[in-house]
Every structure is written in C-alpha cells, then in structure tokens.
A and B are shown apart, each in its own frame.
Chain A
C-alpha cells in the first residue's frame, strides 16, 4: 500500500477504543490496510470546493414535528426485561463498573 499512511496505528487504536471494539493483531493489520485504501479514496472529496455551501442534514424540509404531552402505554415490565442477557428482580444487571 502507499507510503502515505492515512490512518496511523495510534489513530486506529484510538478509534477502536472510542468504538469499544477490540481487534487481534492480524485483524488490526487487515482493518488498517482496508481503512487506509478506503480513506485514500475518500480524499477525492477534498478536491471539491465547498466554500459557502450549506450542509444538508435532512433531505426533506420538515420542521416542528411534535407529540402532545400526553401519557401513553408503557411496556409491561416482563416484556421490557424479556431480552435482558442478565437480570435481577425488576432490573437489568451488569457486571461491576470499576
């Protein structure tokens, strides 16, 4: 691959930490190589002058979509907890935080 590495090992590890993903050494090498070639292709975008162009976050010009402040149905607790990988009584359960 090209010598100008677009994503450094440190960057890749930082991004993996942010994303809460872990890779084996082989996976990381593969991932970096593929990300590198994709990001290089993404550089295409830098060729285009977008000075003064407004960003589009929504394609439809919708505004002010609201619901009224009126209580509706809640899930019965058994249904809310039905998919929980672990639970105790009426709560979800997770391992110790620290």
Chain B
C-alpha cells in the first residue's frame, strides 16, 4: 500500500489585549449591547480616518519576540478589498508585503525526545471584522442578518506558520504551545471558545515517494485544539482515500462540523477572489528603532520554556512537576510568590499540585480568581514546618483561605488549631493521663508497648487535638520508662 505524508501549516488570529480598538478609542470589552462600542471611525462613516493604537503595536512586537521572530524596523499597512457586511469600509486594514514580525519559530518537543522546529513565516497587525447575527438556526435558512460592529476594528495579530507540521498530534501540540506563549507574553486572552484565539488549518497529503506537495485544502471553523486535531485526522483520511482511489484533491476551503465530525466544502463565494491589496494611504509607516525595541523587550515577561528551565535546574523540581506548574500561568505565578517567602520548592509544589489543584478543580476556578493569598499560604506552610500546626489542620485552614481569604494566623487561632508544643504544659496533661489510666500504664510496663498508642490518643483527646503528637509520645515514653 502507498504511504502518504501529510503537510500542515497553521494560521492563527489572536485578539490583542488592548483597552481600545486598533484605530479609534472605542472600548474592546466583550459583551456590550450590539452597536454600543462604536464611533464614526469604526463604523466606517464617510470621511473618518484611522489613528494607530500604540499599545497594539507593542503587543504585536511582544508576540514576535516571544515567538523568536525578527522585528521589522520598518513596516506599513495595506488595504485588503472585499465586500461583506461585517466589514464597515469595504476593506480590511492589514499588513501585506511588510509585516511587523517575520521569520520566527517554536521548537516543539516530540514524544521520542526529538524536537520539531516549526517556522513562523510572519506576524502581522490587522483589524477584526464585526459580527453578523443571523435570523433562524443557520445562515442557510436565515431570512436576514443583523450586523453588530462592537468587534469591528478590535486589534488582531495574524500568525502564519510554514508548512512544517506533519500530524494532527503535532498541530495540536503546536497550537497549545503557541497559546501558552501568547498567554505568558500577556498579549492576548487566547480563549479559543470565545474567539479571542482562532486557528485555520492548511493541509495537503502526498504519496511518500512524491517530492511535490499535494493540493492544499483550508479548514476553518475550528473552535478548540481538539477540533483542530479531529479535523486534521478526518481530512488526512479523506485526502488519502481520494488519492488512493485515483481521485484528486480540490483546492478549496472546507468547514469543520463539530457535531458530525466531518469537514464540508464551503459554498464557493460568488465573488472572485482578488483582494487588490495596496498601501493604506491614511496611515503612516511604523518604525521600530533599537531603543523602542529594547523598551518593549524589557516588558516581556518570563516565557514558558524559561520558567520550566528555572523550575527544574534552579529549584530542583522534577520535569513533570515543573511542567504541571508552567502549564497554568496563575499556578506558576503563585508558586513563585509562595516560594520567595517559603523557599522549599518541593513542598510548595506538592501543595499546589495536590490540595490546591483539587480545590481549583472542585470549584472550576483559576487561582488568580480565588481569594487565597500567597503570603498567607507561605505563613501556613512555615507553621506546619515549625510543628505549630498539624497537616490535617493545615488543610482545613487552606480550604478556608481558598474560599474566603483571611489571615492564616487568625483562622488557626479561631479554630484553636495551634499545637501545644510547650513541654511544661504537655507534661501536666501527660501526668493526668498516666494517673487516670492505670491499666494501660501497667500493660505498657508489662511489655505491651501497643498501649502507648492508646495513651497518646488520650492526651490528644484531652487537649482536643492541639497537642503536638510527637512531643506527647516522647514525654509519655520518658515518664513510663523512668518510673519503671
């Protein structure tokens, strides 16, 4: 049977985390009533002009730096002309021959320990379109549509890879790596389900003995990396079967249907595709000199790979633990905050990946959205270490801080969780128990050492669990041995 090779390139659109749109001062917040985050500029009224949001440029450059790109010293904007009612001006302002970033890469670790070097062709800045709400269930049976321009001109970056990806698995991993890098860089919310990160797939299949790439199919409407994975697997299979059956693949755009698990050819548009790009005369070029670039690089936070490396080699965490922390920026940030106050990496990691992760799962929350305070948590860990509170009580304190916040010391005091570690106080308790339990004392002395456990329990009971059990055991043993 013929062997087939798959070639995949990905295109991402990420909404930049600015307060305002790319060319006007309308807010980018999601969720407003339709057509309330608009002004003459983003509505494309006759006579308006764009003025570029400086922060959008900086975020695009940060994305470029985070993805190992070259940052263009000189870039400019172009118009991409086509008609669609979600596009207020009849053209989209984008960057065509001179994008702001180019020639980057991500090194993707593969299962066998090797690395896949996936090149990024370019990152460019552009404006988003508005949204069309269709009457009826589907666009096909819709009688009319309602354009809402709240999202029109929200700043986007488009990230285009080279066709360096060879499988659904790699595509998914690449997407997740890219998502995490953008998240760490702070340039985008990267929420695929909300559309702030979108991914289109270009895929072709060819017989292993053929040097020329196969015919490319574009897949759109992918709302998660799981869909990316499934759509590629489906499309790979479809194209292989077509070729194996002597057929040929048609160059087209296909839509992924999540429910049926299939890709379907998009009805070809009536308009010919010719975007007639030309330089946008209403915007001037962007020049990023060394000083500005350095200033932006300075603001770039630690990226996932660097953090993983630091957790492993500087803090001595296992590869697995470090990876588990790094995958969640809030968890990793919390780890760092606790670690600076309580520098025992393994202990902090265990708590974070154990109890705290369990609590997060139960409440379906992110760590930065719960009231638990890192310094209070560090205090709790140091009390455990000192023996001032036992492990079980500490968990109770943690739960309370997780749900309601508050100071560890106050919660410990309120519950009376502080352990009695004062040997004078404990000695009195021990003596009382020895007097009240003559039989177990006699048993112990007769050689039934198991009686010690009972006596420890009695002291704990008498102190309502606050006694330091190790000290109680030690004091009891001393008393029992000495009077022997």
Binding site for B on A (CB under 8 A): 14, 17-18, 20, 57-58, 60, 62-75, 77, 80-81, 88-98
Q: Would you call A91 and B147 a contact (CB within 8 A)?
A: yes
Known contacts A58-B285, A94-B144; 8 further A-B pairs (Cβ under 8 A): A20-B83, A71-B26, A72-B20, A72-B24, A75-B38, A80-B43, A91-B35, A92-B85
Q: Point out the residue from A14, A63, A75 that lies within 8 Å of B285, measured CB to CB.
A: A63
The answer to whether A74 and B36 touch across the interface, beta carbons within 8 angstroms, is yes
Quick check: B43 and A64 within 8 Å, CB to CB? no
Asked, given contacts A80-B43, A81-B35, A91-B133, whether A71 binds B20 with beta carbons under 8 Å apart, the answer is yes
- Contact A71 to B267, CB < 8 A, known contacts A63-B286, A64-B286, A92-B35: no
Closest to A76 in B: B36
User: What are the residues of chain B within 8 A of A65 when measuring CB–CB?
Assistant: 51-52, 283-284
Partner of B142, one of A81, A88, A91, A97: A97
| Contact sample, A vs B, 21 pairs, CB 8 Å cutoff | A17-B272, A18-B271, A62-B284, A63-B287, A64-B284, A65-B283, A65-B284, A66-B53, A67-B54, A69-B55, A71-B26, A74-B38, A75-B38, A89-B146, A90-B34, A91-B35, A94-B132, A94-B144, A95-B144, A96-B142, A97-B85
B33 at the interface (CB under 8 A from A): yes
Q: How far is the CB of B207 from chain A (nearest CB, A)?
A: 36
Chain A residues whose C-beta falls within 8 Å of the C-beta of B55 in the assembled complex: 68-69
Asked if B53 and A67 make an inter-chain contact with CB atoms under 8 angstroms apart, the answer reads yes
Say yes or no: B271 contacts A67, CB within 8 Å.
no
Q: CB < 8 Å: which of B139, B149, B281 contacts A57?
A: B281
Consensus secondary structure, chain B interface: loop
Point out the residue from A60, A91, A97, A98 that lies within 8 Å of B34, measured CB to CB.
Answer: A91
Query: Contact: A92 with B146, CB < 8 Å?
Result: yes
B272: chain A residues at CB < 8 Å are 14, 17-18
CB contact under 8 A between A98 and B33, given known A66-B54, A69-B19, A70-B20: no
B415 located at the interface, meaning its Cβ lies under 8 Å from any Cβ of chain A in the complex:
no
| 9 A-B pairs closest in CB distance | A72-B25, A91-B146, A69-B55, A66-B54, A57-B279, A62-B284, A63-B287, A67-B51, A90-B34
User: B423 an interface residue at 8 Å Cβ cutoff?
Assistant: no
A62 to B287 CA separation, bound complex (whole angstroms):
10
Cβ of B37 and Cβ of A74 under 8 Å apart? yes
Tally inter-chain residue pairs, CB-CB below 8 A. 126
Instruction: Classify chain B's interface size.
Output: 35 or more
Partner of B35, one of A67, A72, A73, A80: A80
Chain B residues near A96 (CB-CB < 8 A):
142-145
How far does the Cβ of A90 sit from chain B's closest Cβ, in whole Å?
A: 5
Q: Are the CB atoms of B19 and A71 closer together than 8 Å?
A: yes
**Cα of A90 to Cα of B51 in the assembled complex, Å:** 27
Cα(A87)–Cα(B27), bound, Å: 23
Most chain B Cβ neighbours within 10 Å, of A62, A64, A93: A64
Distance to closest chain B CB from A31 (angstroms): 19
* Shortest distance from the beta carbon of B477 to any chain A beta carbon, whole Å: 69
- Give min CB distance, A63 to chain B, whole Å: 5
Contacts A18-B272, A66-B54, A69-B18 given; indicate if A77 touches B286 (C-beta within 8 A): no
Q: Is B40 interfacial (CB-CB < 8 Å)? A: yes
The answer, yes or no, to whether B148 is at the interface (CB within 8 Å) is yes
Does B3 sit at the interface, judged by CB under 8 A?
no
Given contacts A90-B34, A98-B267, contact A73 B39 (CB under 8 A): yes
Most buried by B among A62, A63, A75: A75
